[in-house]
Every structure is written in C-alpha cells, then in structure tokens.
C-alpha cells in the first residue's frame, strides 16, 4: 500500500554539508616559497523514522505497542593541514626542484541513536512519549600525519631524475606499528636530443624511462587492532544457580597488523614522429603487494563475532604491458585526433597467511598460484532424463528426473563440495580503448569506445531469477524440463530444490568480455 505508507510513515533524512578551503603562499627569497593549505569538510545528518499505530492490510498491522520512533544524529568533520616548502634553481643546463612538507589529516566522527516504542494513535511522535526508549552513542577519531620530500633534477632536456621519500603515520595501527617509510626513484633519457646520435628527421622525440618505488596502504576500519570485550558476561560458577561476573572477548583482532607494502617497477618508451603528429608510448610494469590486509576465517571455537580476523596475510603480483598510440592532424580547417590503447594484466597470488590456506568467497576461491577471486563452482553435465540414469550416475542426493546432473570431478563416486572446479578468472586479461575527436568551423564531434576481455563473470542476478520457487522468475524458466520437454537445459521447478539445482555452477557463469560505446558528443559553438 504505497499511498498508505507515504501518508502514515515518516522517513526524513536531512543533510547539511560545508566544504571550505583557504591557502596562502609566500616567496621567502627568489626561488624559495612557503605554502600553507587548510581545508575542512563538515557533514551533519539528522535521520528520523516514525511508524505509527496503523492497519495497512493483513501483512502490515502495527499495534500501538509495536509503533516505533528512531532518531539518528551524526557529525563527520575532516580537516587537512598542509605545510609545503619548495625551492627551484637553475645553474647552467642543470635545473633543480626541491620540495619538503608536512601533511595532517584528521577525521572526527560522532553518532547518537535513540529509539522509542509504544505510541497511542494520535500521540505526539517524540521520544518522551514512548513507553520504552533506548539510546547508543559512538565516537571515533582517525588521524594521519605525513612528512614528504622530493628532488627533481634535469640536465639540458636530456637527462631526468627524481627521488621521493615520505614517512606516513596513522592511528589505524597500534603505536608500535603505525609508521611506514616509503620512497621512489625514477629516471629518463631523452636520447633524441643527444648530439652523438643521428636520429631520422621524421623522429621528433624519443625518450626511455624507468622507475622503482614502494608505497603503503592502510585501508581498514578504526580500532581494527584492538579487541572488543563484553564486561557483562555472567557465568555459572561454583554452586548451581550462582552467577559470577565475567568478561569475554567478542571480537578477536590482530594487535600486530601494520601497513601493506606495494613495490612497483616500470620501464617505458615515448616516441613522437612526423612533426609530433604521431605519439607512441609503451610500458612494462610489475607490481607486487605484500603484507596485504586480508579478512581470514577463524574457527568458531574462538567465540569471535564475526568469525574472521583482519591480518597481514597475503602477497599478490600484477604485471603487464601497455601501449598507447595517437595521431593528430590540426593543420587544416577539419581538425581531428585519434587515440587508441591496449593493456594486458597477469594477476597471481604468491602467499596467503602462514599456511597458504585458500580463501573462499561467493562462488569464488583465492589460492596461491592462481588469480584473485577466480570463479569456483560445480560443473554441470546435462539433465537427468530417467531414474535409471540417476542410478547409474555418481551418488547425487535428492536427484530426480528433470534435475541437473553434476560432474564427479574428483572421481570418488559421489557429488560433494570437493567436485567444485575453477570456471575462469574474473579480472580482465586485457583492456582496450579507442577515442576520436574532431572539429570543423563551429562544429565539434567526438566518441569513445572502451572494452576488456579474457575474463568470466558469475551472474548472481540470473541465478536469483532461476530459482523456480515462489518468487519472480526469468522467462527462460518457462522452458523447464518435463517428460514431454526433454530437449532443454532448464531443470524442473520444485519447491525446496532438493537436488540444489541452483547451487554455484557453470549454469550461471558468463563471458564477461565487452566492447562499449562510452559516449558520443556533437556540439556547435554559437558565434
């Protein structure tokens, strides 16, 4: 009853947000400057939900004792303070740029929630009139401080070098683990400007470059290193019926969690031809992330809720090549630019925890030696047509004619969870794109295509529409198996699904490759 809900139930969500920034820069001496930057982002929220005593039909009767008011007020304030000093100097053909700075980032969050139940018809919807009330309050502060530095050096537009160092500190880790030291080095050689190298006239620029660096990541919630306890866990101890006060751990955490580290090496080549009309770039990269912050399962005997723990437990490597080519022609009244790119990616898990135990997800499995989150599911083998086929097949509990037959992958004569197998990687093995933009007099026209391929997707939405139960279904299910409709791969619809026809299987695995026209734009500039 949409009209009834809209008229009776109050559901207000109010947001007030302020974003401000101010900065000032002062040149101390020639080439030496100091800059101060301060910004603030404040969000205040007020949520109010009231469900009064009402009767909107047999399913939606709200008695006075069940009527409810919920009020939530919260504030999130983020402040960022940056202090940066830069110095630039040129001596002959050498040019230096130096930067040092300190960055502060603080996020202050508070939340108050109150709820009341038990209102009479027509009564004012305020907490003071509720028969029962309850309230909770939450507050967290997250801080980060970074010290940064950078040195740039170039000589005669031929040799380039850059070095970076930064130290990051965060309150997301325990004090003894909250600091990470990171650095990077990069260099380039524009060999087309070398006098001893005679480049063809049609080569305008040629540059070889390389870099190596390490960065940190701290993507996790606040206080993830500190365990949560329940100080009111009474326990029957000693004489029967006598409760003794106790405390128990509710959430188990790893107090030694620390920064993730990511090392990356890149080698590249930049070329320009024919008066810079053609631009070409090639890159090879290898990126290895270690001490990954992963959510690993815990045995239920720990008593932890949730039964998992965030810890540094993984190493992953990504590598690939990327090519970009572009052509520009702006010499005539009709001007246009064409750009295309393609890149490959190989993802491999190198380590998971101390014992390299795989991590299972929704129709997925992450295992050492394979890609992250590969689809892991049963392999189907047609539809059972008769009871004789079921008797001759590996034991499959609950099967009947019209049910899906699954493959006995491990060959033990029965269908179990050990018969699941890898069905494909979920990360694209290659991505590509193509863009075109042009102009003629006051007209302009552009479009862009993007795509990827080499990966699979598990279509959970399609599975939900193929349950064959009391819910909405895909029209594909109309072609379900019957004794007179046997030429189909759609199993019989049966309440309860005793054969688990809709378990994770290749029935719902699809090719995820695509080519998409991302945008098309045409414009006219009015004189």
The torsion angle over the Cα atoms of residues 423, 506, 294 and 356, rounded to 10 degrees, is -50
Confidence (pLDDT) at 240: 67
User: Of all helices (H) and strands (E), which one includes residue 8?
Assistant: helix 2-8
Look at the alpha carbons of 473, 514, 427, 410 in this order and tell me if their dihedral is positive or negative: positive
Distance CA 222, CA 143 (A): 10
Q: Which residues pair with 364 in a beta bridge?
A: 361, 375
Q: At CA 219, angle to CA 213 and CA 222, rounded to 5?
A: 140
Confidence (pLDDT) at 65: 93
From residue 350, alpha-carbon distances to 257, 266, 364, 452 in Å are 19, 20, 17, 25
Burial label for 172, CB within 10 Å (0-12, 13-18, 19+), is: buried
Confidence (pLDDT) at 299: 79
Query: Strand, coil or helix: what is 419?
Result: helix
Confidence (pLDDT) at 414: 96
Distance CA 262, CA 242 (A): 55
Look at the alpha carbons of 271, 273, 275, 281 in this order and tell me if their dihedral is positive or negative: negative
Q: Which residues pair with 233 in a beta bridge?
A: none
For the chain, count helices (H), then strands (E).
Answer: 3, 32
Confidence (pLDDT) at 35: 98
Confidence (pLDDT) at 305: 73
Query: What percentage of the chain's residues is helix, strand, coil (to nearest 5)?
Result: 10, 60, 35
Confidence (pLDDT) at 223: 85
CB atoms within 10 A of CB 412: 12
Distance CA 206, CA 184 (A): 23
User: Of all helices (H) and strands (E), which one includes residue 388?
Assistant: helix 387-392
Confidence (pLDDT) at 239: 65
Residues in contact with 240: Cβ distance below 8 Å, sequence separation at least 6, in sequence order: none
Confidence (pLDDT) at 235: 80
Q: Cα-atom radius of gyration of the chain, to the nearest Å?
A: 32
Specify the pTM: 0.82
3-state secondary structure 402-417: CCEEECCCCCCCECCH
CB atoms within 10 A of CB 293: 20
Check: CB of residue 224 under 8 Å from CB of residue 171. no
Distance CA 262, CA 312 (A): 13
Average pLDDT per block of 10 residues along the chain, 527 residues long: 88 97 97 97 97 88 94 98 97 96 98 95 90 94 97 96 97 94 97 90 95 94 85 76 80 91 98 95 97 84 78 94 96 95 97 88 94 97 96 95 97 96 97 98 97 97 92 94 96 94 97 97 96
């Amino acid at each position: 009853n949409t009209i009834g809900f809209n008229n009776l139930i109050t559901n207000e969500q109010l947001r007030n947000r302020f974003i401000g920034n101010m900065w000032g820069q002062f040149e101390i001496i020639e080439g030496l400057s100091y800059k101060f930057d301060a910004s603030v982002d404040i969000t205040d929220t007020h949520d109010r939900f009231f469900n009064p005593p009402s009767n909107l039909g047999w399913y939606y009767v709200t008695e006075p004792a069940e009527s409810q008011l919920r009020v939530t007020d919260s504030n999130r304030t983020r402040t960022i303070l940056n202090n940066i000093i830069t110095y630039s100097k040129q001596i002959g053909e050498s040019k230096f740029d130096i930067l040092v700075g300190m960055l502060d980032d603080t996020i202050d969050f508070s939340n108050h929630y109150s709820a009341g139940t038990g209102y009479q018809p027509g009564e004012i919807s305020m907490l003071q009139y509720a028969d029962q009330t309850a309230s909770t309050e939450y507050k967290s502060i997250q801080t980060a401080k970074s010290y940064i530095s950078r040195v740039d050096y170039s000589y005669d537009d031929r040799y380039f070098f850059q070095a970076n160092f930064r130290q990051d500190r965060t309150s997301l880790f325990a004090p003894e683990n909250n600091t990470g030291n990171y650095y990077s080095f990069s260099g380039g050689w524009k060999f087309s400007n070398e006098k001893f190298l005679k480049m063809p006239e049609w080569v305008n620029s040629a540059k070889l470059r390389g870099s190596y660096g390490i960065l940190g990541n701290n993507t996790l919630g606040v206080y993830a290193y500190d365990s949560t306890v329940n100080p009111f866990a009474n326990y029957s101890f000693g004489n029967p019926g006598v409760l003794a006060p106790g405390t128990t751990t509710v959430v188990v955490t790893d107090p030694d969690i620390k920064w993730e580290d990511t090392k990356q090496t890149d080698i590249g080549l930049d070329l320009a031809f024919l008066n810079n009309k053609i631009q070409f770039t090639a890159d090879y990269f290898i990126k290895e992330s270690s001490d990954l912050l992963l959510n690993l399962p815990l045995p239920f005997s720990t008593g932890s809720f949730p039964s998992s723990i965030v810890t540094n437990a993984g190493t992953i490597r990504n590598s690939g090549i990327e090519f970009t080519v572009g052509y520009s022609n702006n010499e005539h009244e009709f001007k246009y630019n064409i750009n295309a790119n393609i890149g490959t990616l190989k993802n491999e898990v190198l380590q998971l925890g101390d014992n390299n135990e795989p991590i299972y997800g929704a129709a997925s499995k992450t295992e050492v030696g394979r890609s992250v989150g590969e689809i892991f599911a049963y392999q189907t083998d047609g539809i059972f047509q008769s009871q004789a086929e079921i008797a001759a097949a590996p034991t499959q509990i609950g099967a009947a004619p019209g049910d899906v037959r699954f493959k006995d992958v491990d060959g033990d004569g029965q269908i179990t969870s050990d018969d699941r197998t890898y069905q494909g990687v979920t990360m694209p093995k290659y991505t590509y794109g193509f863009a075109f933009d042009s102009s003629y007099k006051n007209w302009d026209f552009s479009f862009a295509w993007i795509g990827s391929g080499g990966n699979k997707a598990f279509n959970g939405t399609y599975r939900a529409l193929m349950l064959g139960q009391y819910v909405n279904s895909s029209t594909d299910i109309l072609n379900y198996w019957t004794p007179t409709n046997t030429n189909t791969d759609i199993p019989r619809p049966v309440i309860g699904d005793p054969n688990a026809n809709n378990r994770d299987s290749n029935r719902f695995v699809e090719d995820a490759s695509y080519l998409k026209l991302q945008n098309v734009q045409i414009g006219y500039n009015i004189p």
